[in-house]
Structure formats: structure tokens, C-alpha cells
Amino acid sequence: VNELIEVEKSLKAEIYPVFPESSKSLLKKYLTKELFEQLKHVKDNTGYTLQQLIASGLANPDSSIGVYAGSTDSYKVFAPLLDKIIEDYHNHGIDAKHVQSWDISAQNFEDFNTKHGGDFVVSTRVRIARNLAKVPLGTNISTEQRREVERLANQAFSSFEGELKGTYYALGKLTAAEKKQLKEDHFLFKEGDRFLKSCGCERDWPESRGIFHNPQKTFLVWVNEEDQFRIISMQNGGNLREVFERLAKAHEIINQHAEFSITDHLGAITTCPTNLGTGMRASVHVKLPLLSADEKRFKSIAEKHHLDIRGIDGEHSESKGGIFDVSNKRRLGHSEAQLAVDMYNGVNELIEVEKSLR
Ligand code: ADP
Ligand code: CIR
């Protein structure tokens, strides 16, 4: 606690922060005293400061990254710091270009459960994060601008047809019981995330936040949470092809209504640098009770296929009943299609090994 007070004081006084001993963030690794001095009076074209950029990492010493951007321009003006973090996390150098492709026609993507003859995969989900080119990111957006994003989102939603047709629910109008149920069923974002709180992303909560979904809840859009748009396709079982294709179609339609911030170097601009590029996380909830008992082996297979392992209530949660959330870890410098292949190949190997342990 004392360490945190020191950090806050130093931030206000624009003095180089003292990082707690325990902190292992990329922010701590790359924010040298020299860089701090160089950037401490810099603001991006939306007025976002270095102090805002690094506030979450300082308030949460257990951060793994520690920064949230304020706008597309943040990635330019704070490049001396952010490029290093991006290069470290994504292995994407300053001259590297992002590639986009939703073409999975060359993939067979057989249903995981059919392929392996068992109900290994409980559910499959693919989400992408997108933000509008012309407004600041959630960390630095104004109340008015946030309202405008919500209005624009609803305009796009009203153009959906067929399977994508649905209803928008403003967060402020959902009852506590409705929200609880939606969260438990893995459809709705959590609230009160301390990492997001300390970078300003939860200002005016719950105003202009909400969730759109079709009646089957296979297609959903989160509005004005960490990113302005989190576009999600999900369903029970292991049919990655269906889930991916539904998302590709929805993305194409929303794209016609909203001008998203995309750059050649960083792809889709996102609030957290971990999501840059595709903003895509393709995941399964998969039953691996035997393999997961051998943590070293589990992790080494995941690493080989660039996979991330989370608990089943999302990031920073625990596993339950031997079921894990396994997803592509890479987001930037590889296409949406390629990242779905990462997940597909990796999950197949995890299931193969699980079967061999029976
Ligand atoms: P994000 O996916 O947006 O990075 P989280 O990791 O917090 O954020 O996950 C958001 C929600 O989506 C959580 O409730 C999580 O359980 C749910 N979820 C993620 N993957 C799947 C999946 N394959 N099947 C069902 N729910 C999922
Ligand atoms: C951290 O640095 O650990 C948190 N800011 C979360 C980083 C992962 N990114 C994310 O949830 N979008």
C-alpha cells in the first residue's frame, strides 16, 4: 500500500515512478528514466498524457503489460515506449506490416468433437475488437462521443438480417439478475475490472454501454467496454468454421457502417496493445482434465502453437472441472484466418494428448 501511495505521488509530481519489486510488467521493463523524461510532457492529439497511458500499470503492480492507449495517435506520439512493448509482446518490429484475411476456404476446420469422437469442446467463440477512427479510445472518450458511438452502433445493428438480427440492451436498463445470468452464461463482459478502472475506461459507467445479441445468442456485440466494439460469434460445440464464418460476415456488414481505425503497421487499433492487429481471440472451452494435471506438458504444447490458456470465466479467472479456455495468443502481423488455424491445430494436438492419457 505504501508503495502504491509513493507511485501516485510521483505520478502527480511528474517524477519517474518507483516500480514495486514484485512488478513484472512490460511497462516497468521499458519505461527507463530517460524515456520518462523524454515523454513526460507529451500529449497525443486527443490530449492523452503519458501519466494516463501508464496509470493502470502503476496502480496494478501485477499488470503484465501496464499501459492503455488513449487514441490512434497515442501509438504514434508514445511510440518510443509503445513500440518496445509491441515488439516484445507481438514480436512485431517497427517496420513490420499487419496482414488481413478472413479467407479460410483452404482449411478443413472439421468439428473438434466429430473429429475426435467425444464431447471435448463445450463451446467455441471468436471475438474481434474494433474502434472508430475519428474518436478517442474508451480511456479518453467524452460522454458525448461515447453516446455517439452507441448511436452509430445501433444504426449498424438495424441493418442486420437473417441470423444476425437481434436486439440491443443498454447496460443501465438490465436488472442485476439479468446481468448476472448473462455473465454466468459467458455472454456479457464483467464490470469493475480494476485494470480498466484505473485507465479511465469505466468513467460514466454504465452510460452508453450495452450488449446486442440475436435471440439464439450466437452473435453478440459489446458496445463501449474496453473497446468500442467487441464483435462476437459463439455457439455450443466445436464447429469453428461456422463460428468464424458468422463473424466474418458480421464484420463485413458493420464495416460498411463504421469507419474503424486501422493502420498498415498495427492493423486494428485497440485500447490495450495486446489486442492490436486482428483484435481477434478465437477460443474453445475444452475439457482437458488429464493433460492439465501435467502443467508443464500442457503449457509446452500451448506455447508451441502460440496458444493462451485462461480459466472459463475469462481473463484472470480460474479453471473449473478441468475445463480451460484455450485461444490464439498472437493478434498482430498474422491474418484472422491464420490465427484461427493456430487455434485449430493447437486444440487438436491438446485433445490428441488428452485421449492418449486415458
Ligand atoms: P475477451 O474474450 O473479450 O478477451 P474474456 O477472456 O474476459 O474477454 O472473456 C469474455 C467472456 O467470454 C467470459 O465470460 C468467457 O468465459 C467467455 N468465453 C470466452 N471463450 C469462450 C468459449 N469458447 N465458450 C464460451 N464462453 C467463452
Ligand atoms: C495487464 O497489463 O495485465 C492488464 N492491463 C491486462 C492486459 C491484457 N489485456 C487485456 O485484457 N486487454
**pLDDT per residue over 72-90, tens digit each?**
999 999 999 999 999 999 9
Domain identity same for 332 and 185:
yes
Q: Is residue 96 part of a domain?
A: no
Cα 358 to ligand 2 centroid, rounded to whole Å: 36
Q: Is residue 105 part of a domain?
A: no
Query: Could you give the CA distance from residue 41 to residue 154 in angstroms, rounded to a whole number?
Result: 38
CB 66 within 8 A of CB 57: yes
Q: Is residue 104 part of a domain?
A: no
Q: Distance from CA of residue 25 to its chain's centroid? A: 18
Domain identity same for 299 and 186:
yes
Domain identity same for 233 and 342:
yes
- What range does the domain containing 165 cover? 112-356
Domain identity same for 214 and 302:
yes
Q: Is residue 258 part of a domain?
A: yes
CATH no. for residue 50?
Answer: 1.10.135.10
Number of domains in the chain: 2
Domain identity same for 75 and 134:
no
List the alpha helices (DSSP H) in the chain: 2-12, 26-30, 33-39, 50-59, 74-77, 79-90, 112-116, 143-157, 176-184, 194-197, 240-257, 295-304, 336-356
Q: Is residue 352 part of a domain?
A: yes
> Per-residue pLDDT tens for 263-321?
999 999 999 999 999 999 999 999 999 999 999 999 999 999 999 999 988 787 888 88
Q: Distance from CA of residue 197 to its chain's centroid? A: 16
Average pLDDT over residues 169-185: 97
Domain boundary (57, 90, 123) is at: 90
Stated length of the chain: 358
Domain identity same for 170 and 41:
no
> Per-residue pLDDT tens for 90-148?
999 999 999 999 999 999 999 999 999 999 999 999 999 999 999 999 999 999 999 99
Query: Could you give the CA distance from residue 19 to residue 28 in angstroms, rounded to a whole number?
Result: 7
| Bond into 61 cis (ω within 30) | no
Query: Could you give the CA distance from residue 102 to residue 335 in angstroms, rounded to a whole number?
Result: 7
Q: Is residue 61 part of a domain?
A: yes
Query: Could you give the CA distance from residue 261 to residue 45 in angstroms, rounded to a whole number?
Result: 15
Q: Which residues line ligand 2 (CB under 6 A)?
A: 56, 63-66, 195, 226, 272, 274-275, 315
Which residue, by CA, sits nearest to atom 16 of ligand 1? 313
Domain identity same for 342 and 194:
yes
Cα 269 to ligand 1 centroid, rounded to whole Å: 20
Domain identity same for 62 and 186:
no
Nearest residue to 214 via CA among 176, 250, 244, 190:
250
